[in-house]
């Protein structure tokens, strides 16, 4: 007769009564199965030892803790002023957010633009969850067709010529920021993403829900840039202030709408449900990008730069502050080792020279 | 207790809490972290209408997934990683403690690399759930539980042996 499978042998170790008599009797008389069984037993013993953990718990204390948490979670929250939707730039972003490509152009052929960065709303998530978000490469193929090639150029004029963008002009530098700026430029980036269900399931270690029809054959072209930045040194010679802009990220699809794909990706197991829910909500706004704020290390608030709504981020302790605002299809940024007041003043006073 | 929380929560909590902590502790190698995961799991469970008869399986699967998510996300606190487990602290000398700690790290790393269903089945089985309970909790046939657990054990053993042979 045929030999029982590995699963039967394994169960025979733990629950012999759960194995059919015919299999049990076979193993008793079969040298080969006896050997396989011994191997299985050795592995089981080793792993049991490796996983063994004697976790004594105080159930009463644990119940008190849970009761307190449930009561707190249900308590009415103090009224907070409603913040207006944030309209700012893109920063960031992680995993799925890599989908937010952007850039001018490229709407060639039958590509149609379905997404454009006009709003970014802050979402606060635990820092660890940022790490947890899977890279897009794990969900399919991501082909970089052009890279930013960030480089120094000699002056503002060259920066403008290299990018076609206006350069920042600041007449009143913050205290501690000195000298002439150096200029950096970067070309437009373009990546092409195509979803692959098998890769996604492998990455997540489990079957995933049926993808939207057509997703597997859809290519998403993700672009951002070009961009430029002026960087001023501080008294120590280290960079103290940076002001720059980049053409806002955009996503193009030749099939399934980008937002459909994004919502599907966000619904996959492995993403924290709280974050996925927030992101799904944002997609309804059309054009709102998630701005990920690292909890505990950054704080944010919203304000305005001119007429443009802006988001200000600062690190814990205020060592670094950055303000982002979106205007006329550009993501603008001003940041440095300055207070939030200082970067906001710089942002408001920045003029863009063509 | 808030009205939105199921009325049988305390009863189920008292019966299942040690088991749920045990599941998470096998993944994380830390009692403190495991208790955090268990609390998180019961918080979620309290708002479900999962039948009481299915509660243990639901809780154990949820705890295993949550703990594996913690592993994968690197959400673990360094201080806890340092603590690794109580067993490390009673090792006879520093060298043994270092070796044990490294082994713990390898076990956790190996678990986080297993296909999720294998990892969960492995942890549930080694936490004492029967084949029928694991099968019901993971929507598997009892026959395939053995296969899944066996594959997970084999993969994890290879992971540990590879490390041992490279030292």
Tell me the per-residue pLDDT of B19-67, one tens digit each, with 9 for 90 and over: 999 999 999 988 888 999 899 888 888 877 778 888 898 899 888 888 8
Size of interface A-B (CB pairs under 8 A): 149
pLDDT given for residue A77 in this prediction: 38
Domain enclosing residue B55, as ranges: 9-166
Domain CATH number, residue B33? 1.20.140
ipTM of this complex > 0.90? no
Q: What size, in residues, is chain B?
A: 167
Task: Give the gap in angstroms from C-alpha A329 to the nearest C-alpha of chain B.
Answer: 35
Q: Which of the pair, A13 or B93, is modelled with greater confidence?
A: A13
Q: Are A185 and A163 in contact (CB under 8 A)?
A: yes
Structure tokens at A295: 């909890």
pLDDT given for residue A296 in this prediction: 54
A206·B5 Cβ contact <8 A? no
Mean pLDDT for B123-148 is 88
Is B156 part of the contact surface with chain A (CB cutoff 8 Å)? yes
* pLDDT tier at B83, thresholds 50, 70, 90: very low
B18·A55 Cβ contact <8 A? yes
Residue from A262, A311, A296, A265 nearest A282 by CA: A262
Is B117's pLDDT higher than 70?
yes
Tell me the H-state helices in chain A: 6-14, 21-29, 31-51, 59-74, 127-132, 156-163, 197-204, 258-267, 273-283, 340-349
Mean predicted lDDT score pLDDT of chain B: 79
* pLDDT tier at B122, thresholds 50, 70, 90: very high
Of A5, A46, A67, nearest to B147 by CB-CB distance is A5
Chain B residue closest in CA terms to A270: B69
pLDDT given for residue A236 in this prediction: 57
Binding-face residues of B in 39-58 toward A, CB within 8 A: 39, 42-43, 46
Q: Which residues contact A179 (CB under 8 A, 6 or more apart)?
A: A232, A233
Q: Are A230 and A332 in contact (CB under 8 A)?
A: no
Give A55's contacts in chain B (Cβ within 8 Å).
18, 21-22, 25, 31, 34-35
Of A8, A9, A70, nearest to B1 by CB-CB distance is A70
pLDDT given for residue A246 in this prediction: 80
A18·B131 Cβ contact <8 A? yes
Task: Count structural domains, chain B.
Answer: 1
Which of B100, B146, B161 would you mutate first to test chain A, the one with the most A CBs within 10 A? B146
Residue in the block written with tokens 């202030």: A241
Is B19 part of the contact surface with chain A (CB cutoff 8 Å)? no
Residue B38 falls inside a structural domain = yes
Q: Where are chain A's structural domains?
A: 1-80, 95-353
Residue B4 falls inside a structural domain = no
pTM above 0.90, yes or no: no
Q: Which residues contact B92 (CB under 8 A, 6 or more apart)?
A: none
Q: How far apart are CA A334 and CA A145, in angstroms?
A: 29
Q: How far apart are CA A281 and CA A334, in angstroms?
A: 28
Question: Strand, coil or helix: what is A168?
Answer: strand
Q: How far apart are CA A313 and CA B92, in angstroms?
A: 49
pLDDT given for residue A87 in this prediction: 20
Of A40, A73, A205, nearest to B150 by CB-CB distance is A40
Residue B89 falls inside a structural domain = yes
- Cα–Cα distance list, A104 to A107, A135, A223, A225, A327 (Å): 8, 24, 7, 7, 14
Give A68's contacts in chain B (Cβ within 8 Å).
none
Q: How far apart are CA A190 and CA A104, in angstroms?
A: 10
Low-confidence stretches of chain A (pLDDT beneath 70): 1, 73-138, 148, 203, 234-239, 249, 271-298, 315-320
Q: How far apart are CA A254 and CA B130, in angstroms?
A: 50
Question: Strand, coil or helix: what is A302?
Answer: strand
């Amino acid at each position: 007769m045929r030999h029982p499978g590995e699963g039967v042998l394994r169960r025979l170790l733990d629950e012999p009564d759960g194995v059919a008599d015919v299999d049990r009797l076979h193993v008793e008389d079969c040298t080969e199965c006896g050997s396989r069984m011994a191997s299985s037993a050795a592995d089981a013993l080793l792993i049991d030892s490796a996983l063994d953990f004697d976790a004594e718990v105080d159930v009463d204390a644990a119940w008190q803790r849970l009761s307190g948490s449930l009561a707190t979670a249900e308590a009415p929250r103090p009224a907070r002023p409603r913040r207006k939707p944030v309209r700012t730039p893109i920063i960031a972003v992680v995993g799925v957010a890599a989908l937010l490509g952007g850039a001018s152009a490229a709407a060639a052929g039958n590509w149609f633009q379905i997404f454009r960065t006009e709003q970014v709303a802050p979402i606060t998530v635990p820092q660890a969850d940022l790490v947890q978000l899977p890279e897009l490469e794990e969900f399919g193929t991501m082909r970089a067709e052009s890279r930013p090639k960030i480089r120094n150029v000699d002056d503002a004029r060259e920066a403008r010529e290299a990018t076609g963008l206006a350069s920042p002009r600041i007449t009143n530098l913050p205290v501690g920021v000195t000298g002439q700026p150096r200029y950096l430029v970067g070309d437009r980036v373009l990546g092409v993403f195509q979803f692959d269900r098998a890769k996604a399931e492998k990455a997540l270690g489990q079957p995933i829900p049926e993808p939207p029809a057509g997703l597997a054959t859809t290519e998403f072209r993700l672009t951002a840039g070009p961009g430029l930045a002026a960087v001023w040194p501080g008294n120590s010679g280290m960079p103290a202030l940076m002001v720059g802009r980049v053409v806002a990220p955009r996503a193009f699809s030749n099939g399934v709408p980008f937002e459909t794909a994004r919502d599907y990706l966000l619904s996959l197991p492995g993403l924290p449900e709280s974050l996925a829910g927030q992101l799904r909500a944002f997609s309804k706004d059309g054009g709102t990008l998630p701005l990920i704020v690292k909890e505990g290390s950054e704080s944010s608030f919203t304000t305005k730069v001119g007429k443009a709504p802006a988001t200000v981020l600062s690190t814990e302790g205020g060592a670094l502050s950055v303000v982002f605002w979106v205007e006329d299809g550009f993501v603008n940024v001003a940041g440095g080792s300055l207070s939030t007041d200082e970067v906001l003043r710089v942002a408001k006073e920045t003029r863009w020279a063509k | 207790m808030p009205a939105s929380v199921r009325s049988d929560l305390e009863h189920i909590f008292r019966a299942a809490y040690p088991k749920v902590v045990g599941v998470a502790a096998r993944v994380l190698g830390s009692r403190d972290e495991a208790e955090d995961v268990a609390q998180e799991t019961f918080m979620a469970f309290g708002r479900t209408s999962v039948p009481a008869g299915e509660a243990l399986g639901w809780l154990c699967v949820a705890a295993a997934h949550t703990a594996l998510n913690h592993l994968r996300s690197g959400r673990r606190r360094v201080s806890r990683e340092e603590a690794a487990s109580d067993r490390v602290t009673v090792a006879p000398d520093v060298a043994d403690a270092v070796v044990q700690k490294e082994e713990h790290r390898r076990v956790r790393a190996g678990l986080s690399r297993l296909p999720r269903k294998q990892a969960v089945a492995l942890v549930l089985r080694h936490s004492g759930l029967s084949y029928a309970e694991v099968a019901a909790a993971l929507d598997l046939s009892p026959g395939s539980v053995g296969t899944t657990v066996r594959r997970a054990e084999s993969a994890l053993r290879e992971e540990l042996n590879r490390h041992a042979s490279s030292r």
